[in-house]
Amino acid sequence: MKLLILLVSLCLLLVGCGGGGGGTPATIFLSGTVLSISNNGAPVPAAQVTIAGTTVATESDGFFGIEVPAGQTAMSVAWNSMTFDFTFPAAAEDRDLGLFFVGPQKVTVNGVVRNQNDNSPIAGAEVKLGGIRTTTDGSGNYVLVGVAYDPAQPANFQAMEGRAGKSGFFPRIFTPDALPVSGIASLGDVLLLPDSGVAPPGTPFNIEGLVNPSGSGVGATVQLKLGSTVVRQMTTGSDRRFGFWVAPGSYTVTATNGTLTSGPVPVVLNSPGDTVQQNVTLN
């Protein structure tokens, strides 16, 4: 009987401690930064961030950190009698949630995400702007409700960087190309390029450079290879610049222009957020 009680007590202790390690932690630390759309700085007075019933105030630079139960997907930010509601992917471990904007007004932003190759709508793409996120419907439409806006500083709204992406496509950074009218900003299409094929996507690039010398770099064909496979290819313009967005890995860059070539130049990209500058020279 004593052995049975001991075993039950041990099991309860392990459950109370999250199973003794190896599983999802009982609590996690979530952090982020809240900014005012009015000045792109920390909100004054401080904003109040609430996740899972726990509230903390933002610091002097807008940063917040909060310990909450694992698995959270939503938070609210109260500032100047306004409340902004945000969602994020379920958090199972410590995570920086990124930037969240507040302001004197909230507006709705809508648009369509399309395939750059054939202009077809893309369903299930994630779109994020100002910390508000959603996914596109079957017709590629997205609606972001509650995006921060300050009518006295419209340029700050149009300078915000949004992001759209879906598996099988290169992510695309975009900025609002229209101001709200009656509380609704209808933006132009966001075009995503499939990640198959050798054509380079639009900016941002994470491997970029210049083809030298100036007299030969215009009109050069630049190839990015993974081993012996060409994964990206483009032709330089009058600025002699090239740029590619690719997954992390070890690559080589080669340029050709007529009879001139550059030797394969190694380039290592450690993470998608890195940017590698690598020039090549034709000989």
- Of 74, 102, 130, the one marking the end of a domain is 102
- Of 137, 167, 192, the one marking the end of a domain is 192
pLDDT tens-digit readout, 151-181:
999 999 999 999 998 888 888 889 999 999 9
Do 125 and 62 belong to one domain? Answer: no
Do 69 and 39 belong to one domain? Answer: yes
pLDDT tens-digit readout, 88-125:
999 889 999 999 999 999 999 999 999 987 889 999 99
Within-domain flag for 69: yes
* CATH number, domain with residue 242: 2.60.40.1120
Tokens of 211: 């083809």
Do 95 and 112 belong to one domain? Answer: no
* CATH number, domain with residue 34: 2.60.40.10
Do 98 and 111 belong to one domain? Answer: no
In the chain, % of residues over pLDDT 90: 69
What confidence score (pLDDT) does residue 43 get? 96
Rounded Cα–Cα distance for residues 230 and 264 (Å) = 12
3-state secondary structure 129-171: ECCEEEECCCCCEEEEEEEEECCCCHHHHHHCCEEEECCCECC
Contact 208, 275 (CB under 8 A): yes
Q: How confident is the model at residue 11 (pLDDT cuts 50, 70, 90)?
A: very low
Q: Which amino acid is at 207?
A: I
Do 114 and 187 belong to one domain? Answer: yes
Could you tell me the pTM of the whole model?
A: 0.66
Do 41 and 59 belong to one domain? Answer: yes
Domain that holds residue 44: 28-102
Q: How many domains does the chain have?
A: 3
Q: How confident is the model at residue 12 (pLDDT cuts 50, 70, 90)?
A: very low
What confidence score (pLDDT) does residue 117 get? 79
Do 75 and 142 belong to one domain? Answer: no
Contact 43, 100 (CB under 8 A): no
